Amino acid sequence: MLDRSKLTSPHSTGLDTAKEIAKFDRLAKEWRDPKGKFKQVLAFNQTRLIAIEKMIAQHLGRDLNNPAPLAGLSLLDIGCGAGLLCEPLAELGADVTGIDASEHNILVASQHAKTNSIAVNYLHCLASDLEDRAENNRYDIVLNTEVIEHVADQQGLIDTCCRLLKPGGLLVMATLNRTITSYIVGIIGAEYVMRYLPIGTHEWRYFVKPQEISAMISTQGLETINVTGMTFNPFTKHWSVNQNTKVNYLLFAAKPSDISSV
């Protein structure tokens, strides 16, 4: 939920609470405007969401045609941003926690969830902070999407994701492959030519190959069960899910049901 104490502290600099809340309302609306400046991010997210929902249903035996098909499942979104994955998964019935290192992102996401009466537990923290909590604080599903390519200690992040997953649970990783194609499309094309992303958003050397993620999760006893590619058609402006993993991809991994969650 939105921490209003950050806006109304008696020791604050005199910010107008109503104006601050209105500001985050506008930002949340802007993030979700299909015709706004984030429209390509929204299109990408919607395509990714469908693939994630299908794999969750397949792995955990849920029927997406049922009301609240994810009811009873706990889900952690690490690096949740503005909550673009958190909210639709919560609306499917999952008990969703979204965390982000950016307080601004959490404020925007929290205000949107509050305004739309969507139950998501948003926290301004790092994934490693959650490991200090109670032993039973583990999740059926852990999402880590478009985060690892911005992290120097990639093995450390992977280890934390795996430890926060319950035995039998599903880990979802989304990132960019380190290929020549991803450099041309993901950096030169997306940042410098089409300007879908700010210049400098990505550093190609931090992109991660699917086999590298598979190797990193194997140290925690997890096994990759599916790798799915996502590609953008610049002519139709549409994203699609396919087997082309040269640029964007989703990697799904399972934690054995008989492995310790510690």
Contact status, residue 176 vs residue 251, Cβ threshold 8 Å: no
Quick one: pLDDT at residue 234? 84
- Partner residues linked to 122 by β-bridges: 98
Query: Does 242 or 12 have the greater pLDDT score?
Result: 242
Q: What is the mean pLDDT of residues 164-184?
A: 97
Whether the pLDDT of residue 15 is over 70: the answer is no
Quick one: pLDDT at residue 51? 98
Q: What is the mean pLDDT of residues 230-253?
A: 95
Tokens describing residue 193: 């030519």
Quick one: pLDDT at residue 134? 56
Q: What is the mean pLDDT of residues 86-100?
A: 97
Quick one: pLDDT at residue 23? 62
Whether the pLDDT of residue 26 is over 80: the answer is no
Contact status, residue 52 vs residue 88, Cβ threshold 8 Å: no
* Mean pLDDT over each residue of the chain, to the nearest integer: 88
Quick one: pLDDT at residue 14? 46
Residue 232 burial by Cβ neighbours in a 10 Å radius (0-12, 13-18, 19+): buried
Whether the pLDDT of residue 62 is over 80: the answer is yes
Q: Which residues contact 193 (CB under 8 A, 6 or more apart)?
A: none
Query: Does 80 or 6 have the greater pLDDT score?
Result: 80
Residue 167 backbone phi and psi in degrees, to 5: -55, 135
Residue 190 backbone phi and psi in degrees, to 5: -70, -35
| 259/81 Cα distance (integer angstroms) | 31
Band (240; pLDDT cuts 50, 70, 90): very high
Burial code (b: 16+ CB inside 10 Å, e: under 16) for 177-198 equals: bbbeebbebbbebbbeeeebbe
Question: Which SS3 state, helix, strand or coil, does residue 230 take?
Answer: strand
Band (35; pLDDT cuts 50, 70, 90): confident
Quick one: pLDDT at residue 195? 82
Q: What is the mean pLDDT of residues 212-231?
A: 98
Percent of the chain whose pLDDT exceeds 70: 87
Quick one: pLDDT at residue 45? 94
pTM attached to this predicted model: 0.87
| 112/87 Cα distance (integer angstroms) | 9
Q: What is the mean pLDDT of residues 172-196?
A: 93
Closest CA to 138 of 257, 6, 3: 257
Q: What is the largest CA-CA distance in the chain?
A: 55
- Partner residues linked to 232 by β-bridges: 239
